[in-house]
Amino acid sequence: MLYRLTFVAGLALGYVLGTRAGRERYEQLKKSARQIAQNPAVRNTAESAAQQGRTFAGKAYHAVSERVGDRMPDSVAGRVRTLRERHAGAGAGGQDDWGTSNT
């Protein structure tokens, strides 16, 4: 209950401070966030983290598929194939949603 109360209080405080700051402060924060995101060091770090995540996910996939094997129901296997195909089609542009390469 304390967690919920703290969350609601933080939400209310954020709303009040946000409405007082106005559009000008929002645009200033947006510009700062864009500059940070376009920083080459930040982009390289994000890309290396994404690559490590893909590597880890690939290892986890192989470990799980070895243990599960043919015990997975056909309906689940079909959904996984569909998601994999959809993801492969979305990544055809060479970049993911964060602007990093899918290599």
The tens digit of pLDDT for each residue in 53-102 reads: 988 888 887 788 777 766 777 787 777 778 777 776 655 555 555 555 55
For 36, residues 6+ apart whose C-beta sits below 8 A from its C-beta are 42
- pTM across the whole model: 0.45
Question: Distance between CA 74 and CA 81 in Å, rounded?
Answer: 10
| Across 19-37, average pLDDT | 82
> Could you state, in order of their start, the residue ranges of all structural domains in the chain?
1-33, 39-69
Closest of 103, 83, 84 to residue 93, by C-alpha:
103
Stretch 43-61: mean pLDDT: 89
46 burial level (CB within 10 Å; 0-12, 13-18, 19+): middle
CA pair distance 25, 11, nearest whole angstrom? 18
